[in-house]
A = this chain, B = another copy of it.
Amino acid sequence: MEQLEVDLGERSYPIHIGPGLLEHGERVRAGIRGHQALVVTNTTVGPLYAERVEQALAGLEVERVELPDGEAYKTLDQLDPVFTRLLERGFERGATIVALGGGVVGDMAGFAAACYQRGVPFVQVPTTLLAQVDSSVGGKTGVNHRLGKNMIGAFHQPRAVVIDTDTLATLDERQFAAGLAEVIKYGVIGDADFFAWLEEHMGALTERDPAALTTAIRRSCEAKAAIVAADEREGGQRALLNLGHTFGHAIETGIGYGRWLHGEAVAVGSLMAAELARRLGWLSDEEVHRIEALTVRAGLPTRAPADLSRARFLELMRVDKKARGGEIRLVLPTAIGNATVTADYDPEALAATLDEHHALPARSVSRG
C-alpha cells in the first residue's frame, strides 16, 4: 500500500492507495472518530462494496443511503434523502459521512457533509478511476444546477481518502476511459515525464495492469495533492486542474447531464484547449498530435457533440466559475507539461476551434 499526504495544516489528511483496502477495512475505520457513520453510495456501487465497508465499521452505528446512479441526479433535491436519514437517526455533529462511489457520489456526499449541521467529517472511498485520481482529493464538493455544472457547492476537505484499486476490476470500459482523461490531464498541465510514461504504458493501463494502475493513480494524486496544498481555494494555480473543463462543462450542460461522462467531456475539452493553443502558436502540431493520440488510445472521444453550435458553446462557457468581467478564462497548454490560465487570446481562434470541433463528425466511438 502507498500513502500520501495532502498538506493543509490542521486539515491535512492521508491518501491510501492499494489493493484490498476495502476487504481489510482498517484504513476506512481509521478515518472515523465518532460513533456514527452514514455510508452514501449509489445503486450500482452499493450492492458491490457497501457491505465490506459496513463490516469495517462494525461496532459503530451505521446507516446506508443509496442514491440513483448518474450525473443527471447530482442535484440539490437529491440530497434530501441524505439529510432526512441523518436527522431521522439522530446523527450528531460528530457523525462521519463515508462517500462510497464515483465522482458524483463523492461530490454529493461531500457537500451533504459540508452542510449537515454546518459541517461534519467525511471520508472518501472512491471506486471509479476518475474519482480516485481527481475528484476525491482536494475538497471540492457540490451539485449541479440545470443552468451550470457544479455551481452549488462548498470547499470541504475529507478526513481521509481510501483508494482500493481492486474496485477498478468492476468498472465498465467507458467509466475507466473517462478516468484516464484526468490522468492524461496531469501530464499535459505539469509533468512532461509523466506524459511520456503514459505514452509508454497506456497499453498496460487499458489492460488494467495493477502495477501500472497504482503508479498512474499515485502520480496523479501526488500532483493533485501538491496543487491543492499550494492553493486550496483556487486563487491561482489550482485552476490549472480545470484543463478542458470549461469546454467540457459546456458540453455536459449543453447536451444534458449524464449523456456524456464527465471524463469524456474533459478529454474532448482538453483537445479543444490544445487545438486553440496550436492556433495561437503556443503548441506545435506534433504536441497536439501526441495528446490526441494518447486520448484515442485511452478509448476516449476526440470531438464535441455535433449538435452544439458555436454560439451555444460560447453562451455556456460564459457560465464558468473562472469567468471574470464576462471574459471566458481558459486553461491552455503552452507545452506538454505546462499550462496557463488566461483570457488573453484571440477570440477568432476560439471561434475557429469551436467551429472545427462541432462541425466534424466524431472520430471516436459514438455516444448516445
Residues of A within 8 A of B (CB): 35, 76-77, 79-80, 83-84, 87-88, 90, 92-94, 114-119, 140, 142, 145, 147-148, 151-155, 233, 318-319, 321-326
Contacts and interface: CB of A to CB of B under 8 A. Distances in A.
A198 to B, nearest CB: 30
Nearest to A87: B147
Nearest to A117: B321
B151 A83 contact: yes
A118 B321 CA distance: 9
B145 A35 contact: no
Given A90-B326, A93-B321, A117 B84 contact: no
Contact of A153 (B90, B115, B153, B326): B115
Contact of A84 (B77, B145, B155): B145
The 8 closest A-B pairs by CB, nearest first: A87-B147, A118-B153, A117-B321, A115-B152, A92-B323, A87-B148, A83-B145, A118-B155
Contacts of A79: 76
Nearest to A114: B154
Most interface-central of A76, A80, A92, A147 (chain B CB within 10 A): A92
Given A76-B79, A93-B323, 5 more contacts: A77-B77, A83-B152, A84-B147, A94-B324, A118-B142
Chain copies in complex:
2
Given A152-B83, A324-B94, A325-B35, A88 B118 contact: no
A187 B184 CA distance: 61
A143 to B, nearest CB: 9
A148 B117 CA distance: 10
Contact of A87 (B93, B94, B151): B151
9 contacts: A77-B77, A84-B147, A87-B145, A90-B319, A92-B325, A93-B323, A117-B321, A118-B142, A118-B153
A151 B91 CA distance: 11
Given A87-B145, A90-B326, A147-B84, A119 B155 contact: yes
Contacts of A116: 151-152
A9 to B, nearest CB: 14
Contact of A92 (B76, B93, B94, B324): B324
A233 B87 CA distance: 21
A154 B118 contact: yes
A73 to B, nearest CB: 16
A118 B147 contact: no
A314 to B, nearest CB: 12
A122 to B, nearest CB: 15
